[in-house]
Structure 1
């Protein structure tokens, strides 16, 4: 079994959450952690578990650097791929973590979506306490 966490982060908040998830997940299965800038789209099918981390741009939009990943998964669906999505956002905006919601809706249709996780701004201890739950839910059903 192998997992991949692909994320984007401008302020470092989403990267912090990605690292926390990686540190928890790597004790269970072989896991790669990489920025979207270093990810090769053609390798998606090498993974049993695929976790996406994103911030939300503006009023609920996907960051520009995540649009190609979104489109790749949307057009090359794999219902056997177990996925999860997490992200950071600001409740000031009407569509809090809107990019997470957009990924969630698409992943639900195109993959085996396991779990989502939203963090307001910078992760706090209560958010870090939720990371093991996120990982447990991700791994709850074994990939066939």
Structure 2
């Protein structure tokens, strides 16, 4: 891919370490494609600068009955309140399929991002990333980069 280096943020929250592992796997998948995302723990993400990113990947676990963790609510709100329509987004999460709303936080982010950004991909991982999940992580990263290329090509045609 003849991509320049884009501003890509991977923002995660993690309690047990599973979602952090997922965020790190996704980071590696982007690196395999010549992109070098900035990995942010949610507590360190500069919300006021969200619009400077070409791509924002959200990695979250699900809390309670399919809820977004409280630590991720400010990120959800930032997308709702700022002009983020041109940002390519993806949301990935870890969860336990024992619960009725498996990875419910992924679904909640997906539904909002579909309206407030250019949503390119979602990914749900059972508990923690396994070797068998790596191809899915690679596909997730490739889908996002493909969407980014498509959007940039559209912008070139329009200018």
Shorter-chain-normalised TM-score: which range?
over 0.9
| 5+ residue gaps, structure 1 | none
| Aligned CA-pair RMSD | 1.1
More strand by share: 1
Name the CA distance, whole Å, in 1 between partners of 2:89 and 2:144.
7
Q: Residues 1-144 of structure 1: matches in 2 within 5 Å?
A: 1-27=6-32, 28-141=34-147, 142=149, 143-144=151-152
SS in structure 2 opposite 1:9? Answer: coil
**2:3 maps to which residue?**
none
More helix by share: 2
SS in structure 2 opposite 1:59? Answer: coil
Name the CA distance, whole Å, in 1 between partners of 2:141 and 2:103.
20
* Structure with larger Rg: 2
| 5+ residue gaps, structure 2 | 1-5, 153-159
With the length of structure 2 as denominator, give the TM-score of the two structures.
0.87
Displacement over 3 Å in runs of 4+: none
Name the CA distance, whole Å, in 2 between partners of 1:11 and 1:129.
23
Q: Across the two proteins, how many residue pairs are aligned to each other?
A: 144
Most deviating of 27-36 and 96-105? 27-36
With the length of structure 1 as denominator, give the TM-score of the two structures.
0.96
